[in-house]
Amino acid sequence: MSRLIEIQNLKKYFKTGRGMVHAVDDVTFHIEQGRTMGIVGESGCGKSTLGRMLVHLEESTGGQIIFNDEDVTQLGKNDMKKFREHAQMIFQDPYSSLDPRYTVEDSIKESLMISGKYNRTQALAKTQELMDLVGIAPRLRLSYPHELDGGRRQRVGIARALALDPEFIVCDEPVSALDVSIQAQILNLLKKLQQEHNLTYMFITHDLSVVKHISDDICVMYLGQLVETCSSHELFEKQYHPYTKALLSAIPSVDIRRKMNRIVLKGEITSPIDPKPGCRFAARCGYACEKCHEPQKLEEISPNHFVSCCRAKEINI
């Protein structure tokens, strides 16, 4: 398997009145062709910013994004247009991701027309094909978004992302606004499309059961830093980072025989403005010590399982 995307020391800082927000700080990982990378974390951990940087909706402050052996942070305007045909995004909120004055067909068709590869007839035929693919009835092609329910809108968003036959799609919480039964329809659709078109996904979510279902690999983020990454299967078997442990223990399980044995974290997520060096979880961590205030390195604790915690080995014996 080849690496489709490699992210090295990626940073994104925002300047605000109160100081520099370190939204994404020194994140390194890679995604292999045809696999799904799940990005998990709580609100404000920088997972959406990370996704937006990968499709270049946000300029990075530092670091590299290598896509098919090319650093896309350095691309010029024309190369950027080409890159966008390879990398697309599915958005979180099906209520704001579609222009209320565009019909279903217009929304899907737009990028086809802009790409210049299709004339009007071809674009319309391709739009039909895409609507078929994501399961929107042809009679809805002239409907406006406000006439559709959340599930159908999200299907339109998926069709739009697929229009230019991308290889890589960033899914930013695509199901969190949907009801359970609809959510399952969309998750199945995404999986089916991945298999049929050999797509690579980066799946951003805060819902751990969803991420377990859909992802092959998982990155856990906390306040802009990558704290743990490994295969999905392994993460739910064995976690090394104290934050990952707390996070997983906090999910309410549907198994009624297994009452929760939560590790309840004290306090709240601290501010990502001008953070001190070292582990950002230290303030809430039960195992924090002196060493935690030094910068942490991502270390391979077992094959392909990386953890950013200086005490990972100690506390997991």
Partner 1 sequence: MSEKKVFLQVKDLNVEYVTKQETVSAVNGVSFQLEKGKVLGLVGETGAGKTTIARSILGVLQEPPAVLKKGEILLDGRNLLKLTEEEMCSVRGEKITMIFQDPMTSLNPVMSVGKQIAEVIALHDKISKSDIRKKAEDMLETVGIPAERYDEFPHQFSGGMKQRVVIAIALACNPQLLLADEPTTALDVTIQAQVLELMQKLNQENNTTTILITHDLGVVAQMCDEVAIVYAGEIVESGTLEDIFENPVHPYTIGLFGALPKLNEDVEWLSPIDGMPPDPTNLPEGCKFSPRCPYAKEQCICSRIELKVITPGHKCRCLLEQGGN
Partner 2 sequence: MTDAICLKTNQETVKKKSQFLEVLKRLSYNKGAVFGGILFLAVLLLAIFAPLIAPYDYAAINIQDRFLSPCLSHLFGTDHMGRDILSRVLFGARYSLLIGIGSVIFSAFFGIIIGAIAGYYGGWADNLIMRICDVIQSIPGLILNIALACVLGPGVFNTILALGFEGIAGTARLMRSSILNVRKMEYLDAARTSNCSSYRIILKHVFPNTFAPILVQSTMGVGARIMLAASMSFIGIGVQPPTPEWGAMLADSRDFLMKFPYMCLIPGICIMLVVLALNLLGDGLRDALDPKLKK
Whichever of 42 and 85 has its CB closer to partner 1, that residue is 42
Closest contact distance (angstroms) between CB of 55 and partner 2 is 6
Q: Which run of H or of E encompasses 35?
A: none
Closest contact distance (angstroms) between CB of 62 and partner 2 is 22
Select the binding partner of residue 100 from partner 2, partner 1, none (C-beta < 5 to 8 A, by kind): partner 2
DSSP-derived letter for residue 273 is: B
Positions that interact with partner 1 (CB under 8 A): 42-43, 149, 151, 179-185, 187-188, 191, 206, 208-210, 212-214, 236, 246-247, 249-256, 258-260, 262, 264-265, 268-269
Closest contact distance (angstroms) between CB of 304 and partner 1 is 19
Select the binding partner of residue 15 from partner 2, partner 1, none (C-beta < 5 to 8 A, by kind): none
Helix ranges (DSSP H) in 55-179: 77-86, 104-115, 120-134, 150-162
Residue in the block written with tokens 């020194």: 26
Q: How far is CA 267 from the centre of its chain?
A: 26
The phi, psi pair for 121, rounded to 5°, reads -65, -45
286's tokens: 């039960």
Positions that interact with partner 2 (CB under 8 A): 52, 55, 57, 81, 84-85, 88-89, 91-93, 96-103, 110-111, 114-115, 121, 124, 142, 144, 146, 157, 160-161, 163-164
C-alpha 275/C-alpha 22 separation (Å) is 7
C-alpha 279/C-alpha 243 separation (Å) is 11
Amino acid at position 224, single letter: G
Q: Answer for the pair 49, 25: CB distance below 8 angstroms, yes or no.
A: no
Whichever of 144 and 287 has its CB closer to partner 2, that residue is 144
Whichever of 65 and 202 has its CB closer to partner 1, that residue is 202
Select the binding partner of residue 222 from partner 2, partner 1, none (C-beta < 5 to 8 A, by kind): none
